[in-house]
Structure 1
């Protein structure tokens, strides 16, 4: 089991303390494993596992506890038999109706430390979430970074070098469970297809009462095929109209929002670098795990430029950057990344295979006059840095602890 220190480092100051720890992210990204890692941390600090109470609400055996009242009664009964502080772990809490009521009651009535997971971004945005306002801290858990993937992949294939691991990562993606399948191509594909179906049916269709599932799947397919490509809801409606299907932009926007809430996609706004404003049209979308894209829709190697961009974008989220797409005159910078007082620019391409490509990728920075770091990231092995702009091989870039 990978220790996922990037997340544990953020969680550690809150372990054993008052705020409710909320772990969210796409289904299958490793939230349940994070709960196990937190338990290990607690045990290593001297806490007995007899003080732990754990429920996964997607397990059939716990279906009778999926109301706030039933869960409250069960926890009060179990905690009566435990001496000292109680550590409560609730996996996929969104399955419990009015779960915020009982969680808030536990916080008030018990000497406890609470950890919950959920697969929806709206977990804490509903009316009932006012019960917990200011009393929780949220952590988004993403699929494996390339660094995490490589660590597990080389435990299965010790002779694999970083280049071999990265080639596998391009198609397999970062879902943690794939290591249990020893990265065998067909079982991994079947698992990712089943995971995708589960996200669509449980976290999008069921949660939002989607009636036109065919339309939803068509919208998902369109976005997936066009990751990293600017488009609007209007462009999707025009696409469907060309196929003889009429759909409103409002419906398209609603269905996209459901996908964002389920962490299937992430939306990136565009920033006008000259006008210093955020643009609200032709946003970009990226998929949470490019392995799902390959398993369900295929084409990762054909669209490798987009996949590399997707991989870099997800790494930026893991490192807690706020990301926008930069528009400067007629040129576009893939990512403007900001965190606290840090800022950097990143341009992603497959290969710098010609002078025209080199001029295009480095030339996007011509109008940027500040002194923040500027990168061009590609698959090339030779360093082509120039004019103060840093060129990095994508493997090395992803594995770097710091970008300066």
Structure 2
């Protein structure tokens, strides 16, 4: 293993590093704490690390003070917890002078190695090393961090490109426009249409339409195989594949495991309810889907009410489902949810005592600020828009929130009761 590690270190030192589009996320970089980067496969965690490596080089940190290892490299298949010390032995054997300097270790998909957290704790406690870890499993990482690192880490979640990052990647706008004149608005309308359809996964941005769909579908295959089936030893493949398709179609809508269980039963697909709950946990653990609960103080009410489901990326959702006009509103709602999640809002949906619904109650965990947000495709659909307006107004009164927002595809207006209607292309840049 030492020979393999030596080769990997040499390969990294000779490698031409990519120069990725800068991401909005940032490492915490607090001395004595490991930086943990989580997110779905192909969302850009590795390139986020390369962004940091390039920054270190720009700050005149020598390349030999930086170590990058990808634990999904097939040459590390035989790597076990007993080999962690080999990393230090080989690295400092090559660069003994680095013992006197701060070094920077980037360890990609580290959760593949059982017992990794104890090694990281030792690095943080006893070595002059700033540690950066990436992983594609929220639960696995968080469990090990809680038990092994105990306050010695801070986590950054990486998503596919935000709309602003998408604009930067395609050289449309490097910063948020200062004004929204007709030319700027036309560019943004066209850009948000493409973003809505293809999503923000970095790799697919320059591909043709058919290739994008095939690659996005392959992402799901990879997640299912590596992060669900292999990691959790799932044997009921038909049930979990049908669950994935149903969850994709349910994006922006309520989802009930009990109802889905009955659907499987009618199709003669055998699966227990407990396994379905576990499969849903595995898929959210792998960052493919997010669950949004109802807003309530009652834990019982939270448990008996269905969650709303959102997919990690609208392009992924579109690649996995057959789209029709009825899906436009829920997909737009998915886009709004992802923006709130990127900004670290705690998100719930609201059902008032009178039965009116509001899509999002978003709470800033640091400031306590609350936003009530409704999503409606267009104001021209008067029946639907009136229903969304009433739902938002009832939620504002019941929760004593003074203002609200309705996000649409391209409509804007100022309504009574301090309700603001804003187009998605502007809201994504200004909220």
1:169 is the counterpart of 2:199 = no
How many residue pairs were aligned?
A: 391
CA deviation profile, 1:151-172 (whole Å, cap 9, x unmatched): 223469xx98111111111221
2:86 counterpart residue number: 73
Distance 2:351 2:172 in 1: 42
1:350 is the counterpart of 2:389 = no
Gaps of 5+ in 2: 1-19, 174-183
1:123 counterpart residue number: 140
Shift of the alpha carbon at 1:301? 5.5
Distance 1:128 1:310 in 2: 30
Q: Is the 8 A contact 1:172 1:183 kept in 2?
A: no
Moved more, 376-385 or 125-134: 125-134
1:20 counterpart residue number: 34
Q: Show the 5 A alignment for 1:3-402.
A: 3-5=22-24, 7-8=25-26, 11=27, 14-15=28-29, 17-64=31-78, 66-80=79-93, 81=95, 82-83=97-98, 84-126=101-143, 129-154=146-171, 161-179=187-205, 182-272=206-296, 279-280=302-303, 281-299=305-323, 302-328=326-352, 329-339=354-364, 340-367=367-394, 368-369=396-397, 370-383=400-413, 385-400=415-430, 402=431
- Residues 41, 127 of structure 1: CA spacing in aligned structure 2 closer, same or farther, 3 A cutoff? closer
Distance 2:61 2:30 in 1: 10
Shift of the alpha carbon at 1:16? 6.2
Secondary structure at 2:139's aligned position in 1? coil
Secondary structure at 1:391's aligned position in 2? strand
Q: Is the 8 A contact 2:37 2:135 kept in 1?
A: yes
List structure 1 runs of 4+ shifted beyond 6 angstroms.
Answer: none
Which structure shows the higher helix fraction? 2
Secondary structure at 1:161's aligned position in 2? helix
- Residues 105, 144 of structure 1: CA spacing in aligned structure 2 closer, same or farther, 3 A cutoff? same
Distance 2:72 2:109 in 1: 7
Shift of the alpha carbon at 1:190? 1.7
- Residues 191, 315 of structure 1: CA spacing in aligned structure 2 closer, same or farther, 3 A cutoff? same
Q: Is the 8 A contact 2:413 2:422 kept in 1?
A: yes
Distance 1:291 1:234 in 2: 28
CA deviation profile, 1:202-246 (whole Å, cap 9, x unmatched): 011111000011111011111111112213211111111222334
Distance 1:93 1:365 in 2: 44
TM-score normalised by length of structure 2: 0.85
Distance 2:237 2:191 in 1: 36
Secondary structure at 2:141's aligned position in 1? coil
Distance 2:333 2:235 in 1: 33
- Residues 301, 79 of structure 1: CA spacing in aligned structure 2 closer, same or farther, 3 A cutoff? farther
Secondary structure at 2:170's aligned position in 1? helix
Secondary structure at 2:246's aligned position in 1? helix
Q: Is the 8 A contact 1:171 1:300 kept in 2?
A: no
- Residues 310, 128 of structure 1: CA spacing in aligned structure 2 closer, same or farther, 3 A cutoff? closer
- Residues 393, 125 of structure 1: CA spacing in aligned structure 2 closer, same or farther, 3 A cutoff? closer
Q: Is the 8 A contact 1:376 1:390 kept in 2?
A: yes
Distance 1:178 1:194 in 2: 12
Gaps of 5+ in 1: none
Q: Is the 8 A contact 1:271 1:277 kept in 2?
A: no
Shift of the alpha carbon at 1:149? 1.4
RMSD, aligned CA: 2.3
Distance 1:16 1:79 in 2: 23
Q: Is the 8 A contact 1:55 1:62 kept in 2?
A: no
Q: Is the 8 A contact 1:98 1:128 kept in 2?
A: no
Q: Is the 8 A contact 2:102 2:129 kept in 1?
A: yes
Distance 1:102 1:303 in 2: 47
